[in-house]
Structure 1
Amino acid sequence: MLLFFALGLLVHFVFFASIFDIYFTSPLVHGMTPQVTPLPPPAKRLVLFVADGLRADALYELDEDGNSRAPFIRNVIMHEGSWGVSHTRVPTESRPGHVALIAGFYEDVSAVAKGWKENPVEFDSLFNESKYTWSWGSPDILPMFAKGASGDHVYTYSYDAQREDFGAHDATKLDTWVFDKVKDFFDAARNNQSLFSIVNEEKVVFFLHLLGIDTNGHAHRPSSREYKDNIKKVDDGVKEIVSIFKHFYEDDGKTAFIFTSDHGMTDWGSHGAGHPSETLTPFVTWGAGIKFPQNVSAQQYEDEFLKEWRLENWKRQDINQADIAPLMASLIGVPFPLNSVGILPVGYLNNTGLFKAESMFTNAVQILEQFKVKMTQKKEATLPFLFTPFKLLSDSQQLDILRKARSYIKQEKFDDVVSLCEELIDLALRGLSYYHTYDRLFLGISVAVGFVGWTSYASLLIIKSHSDIPRGTRREGKKPHHLLPCSFIVAGVLVACFLMIQACPWTYYVYCLLPVPIWYAVLKEREVIQALVESLLAFPLSRFVAYLLVFTLGIEVLVLSFFYRYMLTAGLIVFAGWPFLTQLWTRAKITCLSWAFFSLLLAVFPLMPVVGRKPDLSLVMGAGLLVLLLSLAVLATLVKRKLNLVKDELLVLLLQVLSTVLSMYVVYSTHHSLLKKEGLPLLNQIVSWATLASSLVVPLLSPTALWQRLTSILLSLMSTYLLLSTGYEALFPLVLSCLMFVWIHVEQETLQQSGVSCKQKLASIQFTYNTDITQFRQLCLDDIRRAFFLVFFLLTAFFGTGNIASINSFDLASVYCFLTVFSPFMMGALMMWKILIPFVLVMCAFEAVQITTQLSSKGISHYVIVMSMTIFLVFLNGLAQLLTTKKLQLCGKPKSHLM
């Protein structure tokens, strides 16, 4: 059976990994010819300001007094340049946003595995194409463009990562550091002839990455005074830097300026998803080659922002974030980044019609080059009779469009050239997407076949090992057929040859060959299949249809809960009424009422706002007080039952009470320390990490009696959960655990109702690791319901508070008791543990259900794996067994204690 679990883990890991090959492969191709506009550019140099985390509305709107928070930028919009809204794409994170801005393509999502810091693949960028680039700002952003550059012409100046402290007194120092370093740079250039010479050359880029706004937004939220004051600080800094450039270059009119942001931010201080507050960022540009403000009487936009911002009389030109890269390349006359998919926004250019037409033609050829390389790669890796080309853009169509565009340029039909090139770009981008997803259907079918096969095999194994269905159908001494294994061997060889001919990656072999042995294992169990079919045929039709409808409805609720959290509420409401429709109500009225009460109470959580939107420290303190009351109740119960507590067990309970008190103090103290901008106290940080480290050890010191061990697990994990909470979610594990405790009672009552006698009362049951199969019963239909309950409760733990319903619900404030300095992996790990704590509580309760109902954990766990397809469920099951069955001793010999 251990081998089955190992194989199950491997199979599910392969299925999980296939997602990245099917959906998350890199969009980049290599081998294109650089394309540059063959006309003199309007600018010699470009200055790019990126205010990290700045929302469009936060910059453009007026304050309560009718004044702009960024008067200099607003003056540029009205008197010097052009403006609009830059639309970003998910994930709205700093790394993907800067890649779109500077390289012109939307980031390969596999970069998240590297913390958005390293390049998963090398790519071209505006900085690489420039003659020189100087950049100042965060060490998380600047190095990736320097590492991806050829040669030694991209210079970076970064502050220490420890400055990115969300609990710092003044995060605007991150921006003033950049402004000060730029001023020092130009002071040095005046006194250094060599540096003076190169900064006066053409095709030069200056990049200022300003992280203060993002840091203040995370720490204090965008509605805070700190966030809004930081905008004013940035505006003042930009004004000063522009003045320095004009003075240094003697106002030669050859400098182009761009001010934008990589992403926005939600009202609750996070980003990563697709909410308009995250995807709408400001874009303002002025200087060489940029159109002056255009006054208009009316503008047509779906949103109502123009009136709110009082900018309805100045022409707004929205763009996609990737469009900024070709605009910058056109302004300073460098080749468009090779992997750019941005479309040049010609409406921003203040130049001749010929320049706009030539630039647009260059843009079209540059994207077409990617399409041709992508098509060639896919064609060479596919058998000729299986290759299906992108029909909307054949070779002849490409030539016709390019020739027509050249003809229009000669005829000076520049507007027609722009329109024709936009059409060609649209087709080329659609073709790129077509070839990028070319193998998606093939791989998807292979994985689906494998998964259906594994589901079938696991189901048959459950039926074979834990039910009476196959008995009496097995034939002893039957000679094995050699045709079946030979057929599958031939099939595997043919699949491998097919993949080899097409030079497919090694992962394709795994996805396509894995179904072969799986389906062989399925068909080997043909006797079980035959017995199952006979049993189903003998089952009453009306009852079978009723069970099928209920099962299908339950599965649909599970699926819909991934998209609509309120479906969990609907399911819990149905759960609340379930005991009253059975005979359970006549046997255990108090248990049924408790089940209904806690089900309805838990049903409230999915209806509440996503965690992080409305932080409330009082709710965290309230949850802590409830934990303390629970601790006292446990102690009172033990005393009432006159259990002789040994010193180490009493010490464990006292440690858990102390841990809860310390957690409450740390949460309160840290919150007020950060409000005063005094940072995270070192003592609080030490206590937090110590609490986290001890939370998995302390329960092992408690007795293995069922109720004592489950309570000990809850108390220990709640201390950590309180430290990671910001609001109502602190109450969630308590309510969930109460329902789990009642579930254990309900399942034992249900088992007794079905006629199976229980050998022990709940109060006397011990957690033990039992491998004796004679102690377990056969599976029944009720066990399917139990497995469904488990999967539903796991999903409730997953989405109940919305803490991972979407990436933008990640609230950095949740980890402030542990650290405030930006560390994506550490912060992510802490948030993941917060998410897993409710999972652990559910799995520990299910371990108790399995013991109290005399159910083999192996049998039902197979079914759960089939339904949930989660790799870490096996890990959680093992962790639950460790927490519930193992016992550590502080001193003395072990003693047996019953509740």
Structure 2
Amino acid sequence: MLLFFTLGLLVHFVFFASIFDIYFTSPLVHGMTPHFTPLPPPARRLVLFVADGLRADALYELDENGNSRAPFIRNIIMHEGSWGISHTRVPTESRPGHVALIAGFYEDVSAVAKGWKENPVEFDSLFNESKYTWSWGSPDILPMFAKGASGDHVYTHSYDAKKEDFGAHDATKLDSWVFDNVKDFFHAARNNQSLFSKINEEKIVFFLHLLGLDTNGHAHRPSSRDYKDNIKKVDDGVKEIVSMFKHFYGNDGKTTFIFTSDHGMTDWGSHGAGHPSETLTPFIAWGAGIKYPQKVSAQQFDDADIAPLMASLIGVPFPLNSVGILPVDYLNNTDLFKAESMFTNAVQILEQFEVKMIQKKEVTLSFLFTPFKLLSDSKQLNILRKARSYIKQKKFDEVVSLCKELIHLALKGLSYYHTYDRFFLGISVVTGFVGWTSYASLLIIKSHSNLTRGVSKEVKEPSHLLPCSFVAIGVLVAFFLLIQACPWTYYVYCLLPVPIWYAVLREFQVIQDLVASLLSFPLSHFVGYLLVFTLGIEILVLSFFYRYMLTAGLIAFAGWPFLTQMWTQAKITSLSWTLFSLLLAVFPLMPVVGRKPNISLVMGAGLLVLLLSLFVVTSLMKRKASFIKEELWVHGLQMLSTVLSMYVVHSTHSSLLKKQGVPLMNQFVSWATLASSLVVPLLSSPVLFQRLFSILLSLMSTYLLLSTGYEALFPLVLSCLMFVWIYMEQETLQRSGVSCKQKLTSIQFSYNTDITQFRQLYLDDIRRAFFLVFFLVTAFFGTGNIASINSFDLASVYCFLTVFSPFMMGALMMWKILIPFVLVMCAFEAVQLTTHLSSKSFIFNGAIFCFILQNFFFLVKDYGSWLDIGTRNLTLFLNVFSLPVLCFFFSLCSISHYVIVMSMTIFLVFLNGLAQLLTTKKLRLCGKPKSHLI
């Protein structure tokens, strides 16, 4: 059995990793020749201001008095330069935003998770192509453009990361630091001949990264006075820097200034998704080579288009990996310069296409290679010749139009070759996945059910034909991959299905017996079970797209006692089940994003926990048992922890409103509570009810610290439903006559359970497995969407830390999501115990439902925001689900769905171990073990 679990985890990790290897590989190619416009550039130097997190409307709109929040930039718009709105692509995060602006390409979303400072892949950028670049700003942004730059010509000046504090009194100091250091830099250059000589060279770039707006937006929201005052602070700083440049360079007219943003921000202070408030950013350009002044249409203007614009202005080669299209409407130059620049842009992107095509052709058998038909070699030459002919004929508008057509075709071709192997690898992975699902199902049926009583206990040895056939298939597959010089991961994905399907076919006798057993069922019963099963699965999968489907499922759950006539035997339990199901059904209807913090609800949740604790303590005091004194001491400690958590939440909120930061004592209490939350429950009695309640109290203390509103009530309501679920399952089992009813107050969790108490699986156990998976999904999506970082407010972690630390903050948010998950798994342990069901068989059963939920593969999206990646089009979904059979081709979704479900399957094993630890382990500070039976 241990071997099977190990193999199962290995298979799941392979399937899990496959999407990153198939869908999320770097789009970059290397080996291209740099290309630049063969005409004198209009500027010698370029100054790039990036106001991190600045929304377009916040900059352009007038305040309540009809005045501009940025009068200097407003004056530039009116009298000196061109302006517009750039469309940032999703995910609207700092790293991909800056990569698009400065390198001109859209980094795959997995790169964001690999780090803010280190580059998962090396890429070319405007800074690398410049003669010298000096940059000031955040230590999270600047290093990724210096790392990998050829030579020693990209210089960074960043402040201490500890300054990025969301609880700081004045976040505008981040911007003041940049402006002050730039001024100090130029002042020092007057007395440093070497530096003075460098900054008077041509083809140089100055980059000012301004993080204050992003920090204030997260901490106080974009509608706050802090955010709006920060815009004025940035405007004043830009004015000073522009004045300094003009004075330093003698107003030579050879400096170009560009002011923009990497992304915007929602009204609730987050970014990462595709809301217009996040994707629409300001773009203002003035100085050398820029038209004077005009509004430029922004309908087709993306942030990646800024990189080729900047490159053409200072006359450096376009970044080798750039896919941006030069916005010629901004250029104040001759039509010849525009046409030549556009031609260079087309050749630079076309060369990426050619390199990508050659790379793919070299590793593909000639008779299997299918070229991109829309851009053949002859068509490339024809377009390039025609464009060069138009330049000679001075038909410059036609050149621009023709080059844009060539660029669009080349970009389509790049995508074509980048995804060339995707379908082949996808088929291989799904084949292996379906095989593993079949094999796990057959083992469950064979070992833990009475459906295959006709199967002989002695398994026949298969003939030599079967293993020899699969060995031959494996050799052929390996040879096919070898002659195509495929990477080693391809061997894993393509060869793994071979032994899996061999194992499936070895169980042919079980398959035969299963089919015979199913055919013996009455047709009406079989059809009824199938319809209910299909409907349940559809509701589960739909809940990944639309959270309100969880509400529909919970309402259906509420009527379960009345449909099964359990109402007549356990009225109070049935009413409790209905009540808590309906209460829990409210949460998926609540807003995921955009909600405002409501500390009163957090305090209310804490008070309910305390009232429930008092009720439990009062009940315990009425009992005469040896463990009561010890149990009261543990509950008293946990109640104190709850009170402290409530105080810390209220105190932290008040302190941040006063801009006094987070008190050190609050942080100490928060971390201590988190550290003790998994230890204190182990001090309580292993009696079922007492241990589960102790787990709830400890985890609720941590959850309160991570809550900002209504979600604080969620684990409390969920736990109440879990307690009732335990009672309901015991009642159901008694009605079926499987076992006699045992008092829950006399049942203890025990690591070494008597295996003679285990029983065979019945059809009702499939319903229990469905309940388990449904509650797990509800635990994930009940109050938020883990697929979107937009679903979470950074204020959730302010009790623990306010200094920007993406991985620590992400870990705390993930633990917040997993707490309800742990509560469900602990309740599941109790269900196993009270229904005398083997944990192994039930884990398998639950895992099968997770397997069935692996409907999320072929339409995994390798673009878009995390919110987009967490949402799919309902039309596509319904079209697929019109199929009468649940087959793997309805596996249409995005990465987050695939990752979440696959993670569930894997975590089902790991969290089952954690739940067993929390429920069965007993720690003693002193003394001998005592009996806990009442």
Class of the TM-score when normalised by the shorter of the 2 chains: over 0.9
Maintained 8 Å contact 2:734/2:741: no
**Equivalent position amino acid for 1:413 in 2:** K
Do residues 531 (structure 1) and 513 (structure 2) align?
A: yes
One-letter amino acid of the counterpart of residue 591, structure 1: T
Indicate which of 428, 435, 441 corresponds to 2:423: 441
Q: Does structure 2 retain, via aligned residues, the 8 Å contact 1:133–1:155?
A: yes
1:242 CA drift (Å): 0.6
How big is each residue's C-alpha offset from its partner over 1:749-792, in whole Å with a ceiling of 9 and x where there is no partner?
Answer: 11111111236221211111245432111111111111111111
Q: Is residue 2:652 matched to residue 1:670?
A: yes
Q: Classify the secondary structure of the residue corresponding to 1:319.
A: coil
Q: Deviation at 1:343?
A: 0.4
Question: Number of residues paired by the alignment?
Answer: 881
What is the distance in 2 between the residues matched to 1:165 and 1:220? 12
Identify if the C-alpha distance between structure 1 residues 315 and 773 changes in structure 2 by more than 3 Å, giving closer, same or farther: closer
Q: 1:323 Cα shift?
A: 0.4
Per the alignment, residue 473 of structure 2 pairs with: 491
130-139 vs 603-612, which moves further: 603-612
2:526 is aligned with 1:565: no
2:70 is matched with which residue?
A: 70
Quote the residue 1:768 is aligned against.
750
Distance across 1 between alignment mates of 2:490 and 2:832:
39
State the Cα distance separating 1:317 from its structure 2 match: 6.5
- Asked whether the 8 Å contact 2:173–2:212 carries over to 1, the reply is yes
One-letter code aligned to 2:922: K
**Tell me, what secondary structure is at the counterpart of 1:386?**
coil
Displacement of 1:318 = 5.5
- Structure 1 residues 595 and 356: CA distance shift in structure 2, 3 A: same
Name the residue aligned to 2:858. none
Measured after TM superposition, the shift of residue 735 of structure 1 is: 0.5
In the other structure, the counterpart of 1:207 is 207
Deviation of 1:438 after TM superposition, in Å, equals 0.8
**Are the counterparts in 2 of residues 463 and 469 from structure 1 also a CA contact under 8 Å?**
yes
Q: Which of 532, 536, 539 is the aligned partner of 1:550?
A: 532
Which of residues 694, 718, 731 is equivalent to 1:712? 694
1:290 is aligned to 2:272: no
Indicate the residue corresponding to 2:581 in structure 1. 599
* Amino acid of the structure 2 residue aligned with 1:383: L
Aligned to 1:299: none
After superposition, the C-alpha distances for 1:431-463 in whole angstroms (9 at most, x for unaligned) are 000111111101111110011001101110110
Alignment match, 1:740? 722
Deviates more, 1:270-279 or 1:769-778: 769-778
The secondary structure found in structure 1 opposite 2:760 is: coil
Match of 1:301 in 2: none
1:384 partner SS: coil
Q: Deviations over 1:326-365 (max 9, x none)?
A: 0000100000000001000011111111000000000000
Quick one: distance in 2 between partners of 1:544 and 1:409?
Answer: 74
2:146 is matched with which residue? 146
1:99-114 matches, within 5 Å, as: 99-114=99-114
The aligned counterpart of 1:127 is: 127
Separation in 2, partners of 1:294, 1:510: 57
Alpha-carbon spacing, 1:477–1:872, altered in 2? closer, same or farther (3 Å): closer
Question: 2: CA distance between counterparts of 1:477 and 1:137?
Answer: 69
Amino acid in structure 1 at the alignment position of 2:137: G
Whole-angstrom distance in 1 between the partners of 2:845 and 2:16: 18
Q: Contact (CA 8 Å) 2:627, 2:931: kept in 1 or not?
A: no
Matched with 1:366 is 348
For the residue of structure 2 that corresponds to 1:284, the secondary structure is: strand
User: Structure 1 residues 721 and 264 mapped into 2: Cα distance closer, same or farther (>3 Å)?
Assistant: same
Distance (whole Å) between structure 2 residues aligned to residue 26 and residue 85 of structure 1: 28
Tell me how far 1:652 sits from its aligned partner: 1.3
Partner of 2:136, secondary structure, is strand
Amino acid at match of 1:274: G
Counterpart for residue 39 of structure 2: 39
Shift of 1:470: 1.8
Task: Please state if 1:58 is matched with 2:58.
Answer: yes
State the distance in 2 between where 1:659 and 1:735 align.
Answer: 20
Matches within 5 A, 1:153-302: 153-294=153-294
What is the match of residue 20 of structure 2? 20
Map of 2:619 onto structure 1: 637
Match of 1:779 in 2: 761
Aligned to 1:886: 921
Letter in 2 for 1:16: F
Secondary structure, counterpart of 2:150 in structure 1: coil
Whole-angstrom CA distance in 2 between matches of 1:294 and 1:326: 20
Instruction: Please tell me whether residue 575 in structure 1 is matched to residue 562 in structure 2.
Output: no
1:653 is matched with which residue: 635, 643, 667?
Answer: 635
In structure 2, C-alpha distance between the alignment counterparts of 1:50 and 1:479, rounded to whole Å: 70
Q: Letter of the 2:80 partner, please give it.
A: E
**Equivalent-residue separation in structure 2 for 1:866 and 1:354 (angstroms):** 65
CA distance in structure 1 between the partners assigned to 2:64 and 2:122 by the alignment = 47
Deviations 1:870-897 (A, max 9, x none): 2222111110000001100011111122
Distance 1:692 1:611 in 2: 25
CA contact (8 A) 2:452 2:517 kept: no
In the TM superposition, residue 424 of structure 1 has moved relative to its aligned partner by 0.4
Partner of 2:88: 88
The letter for the 2-side match of 1:694 is S
For 1:161 and 1:648, the matched residues in 2 are separated by 46
The 1:181–1:464 alpha-carbon spacing in structure 2 relative to 1, beyond 3 Å, is: same
Q: CA deviation at 1:648?
A: 3.7
- Report the Cα distance in structure 1 between the residues aligned to 2:606 and 2:674, rounded to whole angstroms: 16
Match of 2:332 among 350, 358, 361: 350
- For structure 2, the 5+ residue unaligned runs are 851-901
Unmatched segments (≥5 aa) in structure 1: 296-313
Deviation of 1:193 (Å):
2.2
Q: Hey, what's the Cα distance between the residues in 2 that align with 1:552 and 1:241?
A: 65
| Amino acid across the alignment from 1:344 | L
Given that 2:462 and 2:506 are in contact with CA atoms closer than 8 Å, whether structure 1 keeps it comes out as: no
Q: Does the aligned pair in 2 maintain the 1:48–1:208 contact within 8 Å?
A: yes
Structure 1 residue aligned with 2:607: 625
Q: Provide the residue aligned with 1:480 in structure 2.
A: 462
> 1:219-266, CA deviations, whole angstroms, 9 ceiling, x for partnerless residues?
111111111111110011001111111111111111111101111111
Return the letter of the residue paired with 1:639: M
Give the equivalent residue in structure 1 for 2:670: 688
The answer to whether the 8 Å contact 2:138/2:211 transfers is yes
Residues 83 and 317 in structure 1, CA contact (< 8 A), matched pair in contact too: no
Of 852, 871, 896, 2:906 maps to 871
Post-superposition shift, 1:642? 3.1
CA pair 360-672 structure 1, distance change in 2 beyond 3 A: same
Whether the 8 Å CA contact 2:454–2:513 is kept in 1: the answer is no
Describe the SS at the equivalent of 1:392: helix
Which residue is equivalent to 2:799?
A: 817
User: Using the alignment, how far apart are the partners of 2:825 and 2:776 within structure 1?
Assistant: 8
Distance 1:476 1:698 in 2: 49
The separation in 2 between residues aligned to 1:834 and 1:345, in whole angstroms, is 45
**3-state SS of 2:64 partner:** coil
Give the drift of 1:494.
Answer: 1.0
Give the C-alpha shift of residue 502 in structure 1. Answer: 0.9
| Matched residue SS, 1:283 | strand
Cα contact 1:138–1:211 (8 A) shared by 2:
yes
Q: 1:855 aligns with which of 834, 837, 857?
A: 837
- 2: CA distance between counterparts of 1:116 and 1:866? 37
CA 1:477/1:857 → structure 2, altered by over 3 Å: closer, same or farther?
Answer: closer
Counterpart amino acid of residue 669 in structure 1: S
Q: What is the deviation of 1:866?
A: 2.5
- Distance in 2 (CA, whole Å) between partners of 1:254 and 1:847 is 72
Cα pair 1:612 1:727 within 8 Å, conserved: no
SS in 2 for 1:48: strand
Which residue is equivalent to 1:726?
A: 708
User: One-letter code of the match for 2:923?
Assistant: L
**AA matched with 1:324:** I
CA distance in 2, matches of 1:771, 1:7: 25
**Residue range with higher mean Cα deviation, 643-652 or 837-846:** 643-652
More off after superposition, 699-708 vs 858-867 = 858-867
1:631 and 1:221 mapped to 2: Cα distance? 37
8 Å CA contact 1:46, 1:257 repeated in 2: yes
